[in-house]
Amino acid sequence: MGDNGTKRGGLRARMKATGKAMGAEIREHRSSFVVYMVLRTLVLATMVLQFLNGNYENVFLCVLTLFLLIVPSFVQVTFKIELPSTLEVIILVFIFAAEILGEISSFYELFPFWDTVLHTINGFLAAAIGFSLVDLLNRRETAKFNLSPLYLSLVAFCFSMTIGVLWEFFEYTMDNLFGWDMQKDTVVTSIHSVLLNPNHTSETVTIDGITSTMVNGQDLGINGYLDIGLRDTMNDLIVNFIGAAVFSVFGFIYVKSRGKNHWIRGFVPSRKRHSDDASSPDQA
C-alpha cells in the first residue's frame, strides 16, 4: 500500500509539473499565446451554445478541439522541441478551422474550397513534422549519420504524402463501413470510359454534355454525372502534394544555409536549448 501511495504521489507530482510546464510553454510566445486564448474562448462559447441547443455530438467536438489546442505545448514540453510562433499559430488556426468552422459551422458545405485549403495546409504541416523528426535526429551529437539537405527534404515530402494517403484510406473505410460521406461526391458533365463503349472494345469513349443522372429510373435532380469520391480524393492528394512540396523546398533551403534565412526559421521546429524557459522573449 505504501509503495502504491508513493507511486500515485509521484505520478500526481509529475502530472502537476507537466501541467505547469505546459502552461508556461503556452505563455512563452506572446503571439501564439494571444491566438490560443482567442481560439480557446471561441471554442468554449461554441460548446456552451451547442449544449444549450442539445447538439451533444458537437459538444464532444468542442472538447476534442480544446484538447487538440494544447497538443503543441504538450509536444514541446515532452519532447523538448521548440515550435516557432509562426508554425504554432498555423497549427492552432488549422485545428480551429477544421473542427469548429469546418464541422460545426458547416464551412465544408458553405465554401467548396474550404476542404481544399485545409488539405493543402495539412500537407505543409505534415511535411514540417516529417522534416523535423529527421532533422533533429540528424543534428544530435550521438547521431552516427549525416544526411544531405536533399535527402531530408525528400523524407519530409514522402512523410507528408504517406499521411495524406493514410487519411484517404481512413475516409474510404469510414464511408464503406459506416455509410458516411467523407469522400464527397462531385458533379461532372463529361466522362471517359471503356466500359460504356457500345462496341465492347478497349477503346475509350467520351460522353460530353451530361445534364442529368438517373438511378433505378429516378432522376437525381443534378445537372451532370455523379462522381462518387474519386475526384475529391485525387484533389485532396494533389493539394497535399503541393503543400508537401512547398515545405520540402523550405526545408532544403533551411538546411543548406543554416542561420542565413531567418524567415524560414518560422516554419522549422528546433531542439530546445537549456536556456529556453518561460521567460524567453517572443520568437516571431
50-91 per-position pLDDT tens digit: 999 999 999 999 999 999 999 988 888 887 888 888 889 999
Q: Is the dihedral of CA 186, 247, 170, 195 positive or negative?
A: positive
In this structure, of 2-6, 65-69, 85-89, 230-234, the range with the lowest mean pLDDT score is 2-6
Tens of pLDDT, residues 15-46 = 666 666 666 656 666 788 899 999 999 999 99
Q: Is the pLDDT of residue 183 over 90?
A: no
Q: What is the pLDDT confidence band of residue 118, given thresholds at 50, 70 and 90?
A: very high
Q: What is the pLDDT confidence band of residue 180, given thresholds at 50, 70 and 90?
A: confident
Report the percent of the chain where pLDDT is more than 70. Answer: 81
- pLDDT for 13 equals 62
Residue with cell 462531385: 186
Q: Is the pLDDT of residue 243 over 90?
A: yes
- pLDDT for 237 equals 96
- pLDDT for 121 equals 94
Does residue 271 or residue 230 have the better pLDDT? 230
Bridge partners (DSSP) listed for residue 206: 192
- pLDDT for 132 equals 83
Q: Is the pLDDT of residue 182 over 60?
A: yes
Q: Is the pLDDT of residue 210 over 50?
A: yes
Q: What is the pLDDT confidence band of residue 123, given thresholds at 50, 70 and 90?
A: very high
Average pLDDT, the chain: 84
Report the percent of the chain where pLDDT is more than 90. Answer: 43
Q: Is the pLDDT of residue 275 over 50?
A: no
- pLDDT for 42 equals 97
Q: What is the pTM of this model?
A: 0.78
- pLDDT for 255 equals 83
Q: Is the pLDDT of residue 217 over 70?
A: yes
Does residue 146 or residue 48 have the better pLDDT? 48
Q: What is the pLDDT confidence band of residue 185, given thresholds at 50, 70 and 90?
A: confident
CA atoms within 13 A on the CB side of 103: 20
Q: Is the pLDDT of residue 207 over 50?
A: yes
